[in-house]
Amino acid sequence: MVREKISETPVPDQNGSTTPPVLKVLYLLAVTAGTFVVPVFAATRSVRWFIIPVLLALQVGILLACRIRISEIARPVWRLKWFFLFLIGCYVLLPPESPDAGDLVLHWHLPLLAWQLALNLTGFDRAALMCLQVLTLLLASTAVRATGSGRDLVAGLQALRLPELFVHSLDHALELLGGGKKSRQRGRKGARQDGALATIKGLLRGDIGGLVQTIRTNIARAAEYLGHDPERRLSPRLAHDVGIVTGVALCMASIKLLKFLPGLPFAPGHKALLLFPLYVLASRLTYSRWGGTAAGSIMGVIALLQGDGRFGVLDVLRHVVPGLVIDLAGPLASRLPAWALGYCFLGLAAAAGRVTTELVLVLLLGARAEVYLFPVAVLVPNLLAGFLSGFVTIPVLRALAPLDAKVNYDRDAEIETKPNEAADICSQEMAADPPKQGASAYSRRHGQ
């Protein structure tokens, strides 16, 4: 397969868009910032009901102009129905946040009952605006994703001078995932899903071999393809890290395709049971300090390109933060005994990062305290899956111990080499300094 070259020159795609990729990324960031900043400042708060609906209408107009069907626009919006109902209920049915808030409250007598229901109309105004903010963010992400060739986001990220490990691994992973042809993507998607499903069945029987073989196959596939690409001239260690991160990201993408608990709101985050061991692998098997973060970032971008998630670009945080937590805790975890309970607690810490998307969203909205029950409800099943992931991490690490040992050996050799080099330099300087000092002292003595 001939590798596509990412050019800065805008090329029309299948939807007729000729926008440079970097402008799409900057546009998404600008819309996200404007959507949440407008209600915060007093200068723009009075026109919030003008600016936010206009931004929302702009996203809908862009999608319609690019011939995106109404059903495709409404599908991601429909995923948020329960969140919107929860948000509106918190503001309409609960009393005002402060007795002196001056909210307009309508007392409604329920028919056929002697009950009186207090409806906070001011709270409804706030909740409705928050719903429009979330919709604007979601549709802006959809516009960037659906109005390009599928590689616009990658090209835009490359133009922003992001770390080489992330950029090369993301580009490499997207090439291996199919390159952009829908028929080929559907076939490979089905094959990946069947393979991942077989892995899950093996795990239910207590057989970890299927998961380990999947990891080895994807890492070998990524390394082999990278070795046959003459356009990439990477250092040996960077090439090794790109192969590992790409292979791990491919495994993550396969697991994300599974729908073994579809649409069940009581068990979000259950896939962390298999995803967290992959984060640990990416962190342990790479020379880079941020292997887990890079793998999570790639998984987040792939999920965004596939339309996965409910909160647009903010969903990338759900995948990045667990990798960052595991990378930061990696040096400590590697020095502790290799026991499952230690990785169970590491999984707990990473699971807390899985709710970063919901937490950041509530913070950006400036919502009342009761709305924080939403990320808390999501946190509980994530913590359970994160804790149990430790029992999967240990056998996976043991099965791939040779790769881990090689990386650790090279790291230790590098650490030992640096003090030796410093000692050699110091000894050379000390050997060279005495003649100079003696000559100067001799001249000073005889000059006197």
Position 200 confidence tier, pLDDT thresholds 50, 70, 90: low
Distance set, CA 149 to CA 19, 153, 155 (Å):
11, 9, 11
Q: Give SS3 for 117.
A: strand
Residue bearing the bigger pLDDT, 149 or 387 = 387
Q: Is 228 exposed, middle or buried (0-12, 13-18, 19+ CB in 10 A)?
A: exposed
- The H or E element containing residue 106 is strand 105-109
Average the pLDDT over each of 135-139, 141-145, 398-402 and give the range with the smallest value.
Answer: 398-402
Is the Cα dihedral 271, 276, 277, 279 positive or negative?
Answer: positive
208: phi then psi, degrees, rounded to nearest 5: -90, -5
pTM: 0.74
Q: How many CA atoms lie within 13 A of 160 on its CB side?
A: 17
> How far is the C-alpha of 389 from the C-alpha of 274, rounded, in Å?
7
Q: What percent of the chain has pLDDT over 70?
A: 72
Query: Tokens at residue 16, please?
Result: 């007729």
Q: What percent of the chain has pLDDT over 90?
A: 21
With 50 as the cut, is the pLDDT of residue 1 above it?
no
Residue bearing the bigger pLDDT, 108 or 362 = 362
Query: Tokens at residue 138, please?
Result: 């979601």
CB 242 within 8 A of CB 169: yes
Query: Tokens at residue 427, please?
Result: 């000894």
Q: Which residues have C-beta within 8 Å of that of residue 106, sequence separation ≥ 6?
A: 118, 119, 121
State residue 448's pLDDT score.
43
Q: Give SS3 for 149.
A: coil
State residue 430's pLDDT score.
46
Average pLDDT, the chain: 77
Position 183 confidence tier, pLDDT thresholds 50, 70, 90: very low
Q: For tokens 């829908």, what's the residue?
A: 182
In tens, the pLDDT along 228-265 reads 565 667 788 888 888 899 988 888 888 776 654 444 44
The b/e string for 248-273 (b: 16+ C-beta within 10 A; e otherwise) is: bbbbbbbbbbbeeeeeeeeebbbbbb
Extents of the domains making up the chain: 21-146, 162-407
State residue 427's pLDDT score.
52
- The H or E element containing residue 245 is helix 236-256
Query: Tokens at residue 7, please?
Result: 């050019």
In tens, the pLDDT along 146-160 reads 776 656 666 777 777
Q: Give SS3 for 286.
A: coil
With 90 as the cut, is the pLDDT of residue 60 above it?
yes
CB 297 within 8 A of CB 264: no
In tens, the pLDDT along 5-41 reads 333 434 344 444 445 778 888 888 899 999 999 888 8
DSSP H helical ranges for 47-99: 48-65, 70-78, 81-92
